[in-house]
């Protein structure tokens, strides 16, 4: 964490915790929890009194159950703390995600299905990082097979997918020399 150059006082703290689980039935779960706390007294909308410092504004957990191909089998939310009494009604809005695959276009599909009044903004915010956590959780299985001859398409898809996997960089040169390209200008 960087040292601030100007004195400052924290007013809000958001925590996001994401976890991946392998279930005994062969399926997987990814769980995300978002907690918002104000570190100063504040007045909630529709309230006539201030909430004390440290009061929890949001405490929301979203769980997705999915298979090895990242098809969503179940989706649920639990809202332990919310700013309004009606917010927990959004816990039941995730059924449109069942049957979707957490691959390219996931965030666009989520926004299309759950945008605005259809769900909770914070639930929708968690769904993108949940998908990337699911992908990372399954990474050891993918990495165990990516170098097998029949998985050339997986290797090719990995090249240029991020900075480290640039076809011009040393990671690709070392892993898959046949997919490496000479650097165009000062690429490490």
Q: Which domain holds residue 51?
A: 12-139
pLDDT for 187: 57
**27, 62: one domain:** yes
Residue 3 C-beta-side C-alpha neighbours within 13 Å: 0
**158, 82: one domain:** no
**99, 51: one domain:** yes
User: Would you say residue 20 lies in a domain?
Assistant: yes
**116, 151: one domain:** no
**116, 45: one domain:** yes
Mean pLDDT computed over 101-117: 96
User: Would you say residue 2 lies in a domain?
Assistant: no
Work out how many domains the chain is built from and give that number. Answer: 2
**42, 130: one domain:** yes
| 37-52 residue pLDDT tens | 999 999 999 989 999 9
**32, 63: one domain:** yes
pLDDT for 186: 62
**Residue 149 confidence class, pLDDT cut points 50, 70, 90:** confident
pLDDT at 2 over 80: no
**Residue 188 confidence class, pLDDT cut points 50, 70, 90:** low
Out of 20-24, 132-136, 147-151, pick the least confident.
147-151
**150, 133: one domain:** no
**17, 78: one domain:** yes
**34, 62: one domain:** yes
Contact 119, 111 (CB under 8 A): no
**162, 72: one domain:** no
CATH code, 102: 3.30.390
**107, 161: one domain:** no
pLDDT at 178 over 80: yes
User: Would you say residue 3 lies in a domain?
Assistant: no
Q: Which of 116, 139, 162 is the last residue of a domain?
A: 139
Mean pLDDT computed over 99-115: 96
The percentage of the chain sitting over the pLDDT mark of 90, rounded to a whole number, equals 82
Q: Which residue has the higher pLDDT, 47 or 134?
A: 134
User: Would you say residue 43 lies in a domain?
Assistant: yes
User: Would you say residue 17 lies in a domain?
Assistant: yes
Beta strands 12-22; 50-51: pairing state: unpaired
The residue behind tokens 């000479």 is: 182
């Amino acid at each position: 964490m960087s040292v601030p150059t100007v004195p400052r006082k924290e007013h809000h703290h958001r925590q996001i915790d994401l976890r991946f689980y392998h279930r005994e039935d062969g399926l997987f779960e990814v769980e995300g929890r978002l907690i918002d706390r104000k570190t100063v007294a504040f007045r909630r909308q529709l309230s006539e009194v201030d909430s004390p410092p440290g009061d929890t504004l949001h405490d929301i957990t979203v769980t997705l159950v999915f298979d090895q191909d990242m098809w969503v089998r179940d989706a649920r939310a639990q809202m332990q703390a919310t700013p309004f009494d009606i917010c927990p009604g959004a816990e039941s809005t995730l059924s449109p995600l069942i049957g979707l695959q957490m691959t390219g276009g996931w965030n666009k599909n989520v926004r299309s299905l759950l945008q605005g009044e259809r769900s909770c903004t914070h639930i929708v915010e968690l769904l993108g990082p949940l998908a990337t956590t699911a992908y990372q959780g399954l990474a050891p299985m993918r990495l165990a097979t990516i170098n097998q001859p029949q998985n050339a398409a997986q290797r090719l898809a990995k090249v240029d997918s991020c900075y480290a996997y640039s076809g011009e960089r040393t990671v690709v040169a070392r892993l898959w020399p046949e997919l490496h390209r000479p650097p165009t200008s000062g690429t490490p």
